[in-house]
Amino acid sequence: MDRVEALYKISLAITSTLDLEEVLKTIMKGIREELSFDRVGIFLVDEKNKKVYGKLGTNAEGQPEEIGYQIFPLIENDNNLADIAL
């Protein structure tokens, strides 16, 4: 399966629910299985407090991994996460 088809399959799955946790888990599963990544981390942007923080992650075995402790400042030109988020 090519990447475009895999992304399309993931997008169909995430439109089936409005529950944020389910959507994020579906994205993580799709990235691991359909795009063959060994680790996945989803970070959310807190624009009010100018921070990016870890929400969900998996380890190399695909098991849930705690990443909530990973918090980064959202300062332009300071880090890659800021560049992506802004």
CATH of the domain at 23: 3.30.450.40
Tally of domains within the chain: 1
Q: What is the pLDDT of residue 72?
A: 86
Q: Round to whole Å and give the CA distance between 36 and 61.
A: 12
Classify 50 in phi/psi space as left (phi over 0), alpha (psi -120 to 50) or beta. left
Please give the structure tokens belonging to residue 86.
């802004």
Q: What is the pLDDT of residue 7?
A: 83
Q: Round to whole Å and give the CA distance between 12 and 17.
A: 10
Q: Round to whole Å and give the CA distance between 26 and 32.
A: 10
Domain ranges, residue 76: 3-85
Question: What are the pLDDT tens digits along the chain (86 aa)?
Answer: 688 888 888 888 888 888 888 888 888 888 888 888 888 999 988 989 988 899 999 998 888 899 999 998 887 666 665 556 55
